[in-house]
Amino acid sequence: KASRAFHPEDTIIKTKHSVIGGKHLVLMAGPDSIESPEHVLEMGKDVKAAGATILRGGAFKPRTSPYSYQGNGEEGLKAHRAAADQLGMDMVTEILDTRDVDLVDKYTDIFQVGTRNMQNFALLKALGKTRKPVLLKRGMSATIDDLLNASEYIAAGGNDQIMLMERGIRTFDSKYTRNTFDLGAIPVLQKLTHYPIIADTSHAAGHSEFVAPLAQGAIAAGAQGLMTEIHNDPKHAFVDGAQALTPEQYSAMAAKLKKIHEVI
């Protein structure tokens, strides 16, 4: 179902506040994790002012160490929903566990499947039964075909509102960037599939100074959207402060991206 042979036209996903896919450019941004109702609202105001229509934030955090901050669960979902509603934005948040599908469905507009769960087939099947868009991140060691096959698990359940995300893969050099942003995956995926292709250069870069140059490359290569992490006080962010842009940096980057998108 992912193949262009099956569906030659670009899939366009329409949410309440966003049009995703085709010639449109969609900006998703917000904090890595939901820290407090006030914080997510403040970050939402900043990213909306810069042109984002989708507010991101994690209430369930997939941390490498079980001793790291794990997110604030339903309390975070509520705060995220309230901020998105107040600002007139869509909400995207990560789901980690099949047991949380109903809970997350109650709050979110878009389900996010993270890199660590790209091949969690039980989760993909469960999301295939929902009727909300799914943002599927490429596994950090997954091939392009692995990513496309994972999307089939969602589509097989009858949910064809799928976005695919390149967020950086593991290669031999992770000293300077957290992952290697696979720029080539963008035009390749666009040739192979009709689903919208979105880039996350925050997790690819791992360091804020590289987030914007990679994002410029991603949009120039044809990505139809970008997800970015921001924080007003990156040093004190609960999660991944090193890769967070400040609101000012985000706004400057977004202005450039819009110009790049106009000429491609």
| Residues of this chain that bind ligand PEP (CB under 6 A) | 32, 58, 62, 94, 114-115, 137, 167, 200, 203
Give least dist CB 234 to ligand PEP, A: 15
Cβ closest to ligand PEP, residue 137 vs residue 261: 137
Angle at 64 between CA 60 and CA 61, to 5 degrees: 10
Give least dist CB 112 to ligand PEP, A: 6
Give least dist CB 166 to ligand PEP, A: 10
Cβ closest to ligand PEP, residue 30 vs residue 128: 30
Cβ closest to ligand PEP, residue 5 vs residue 64: 64
Cβ closest to ligand PEP, residue 3 vs residue 174: 174
Give least dist CB 87 to ligand PEP, A: 20
Report which DSSP code applies to 138. Answer: P
Cβ neighbours of residue 64 closer than 8 Å, sequence gap 6 or more: none
Cβ closest to ligand PEP, residue 58 vs residue 128: 58
Q: In this structure, are residues 221 and 229 in contact, taking their beta carbons and an 8 Å threshold?
A: no
Cβ neighbours of residue 119 closer than 8 Å, sequence gap 6 or more: 139, 142, 146, 150
User: How far is it, in rounded angstroms, from Cα 192 to Cα 94?
Assistant: 26
Torsion of CA 117, 120, 123, 129, to 10 degrees: 110
Give least dist CB 204 to ligand PEP, A: 9
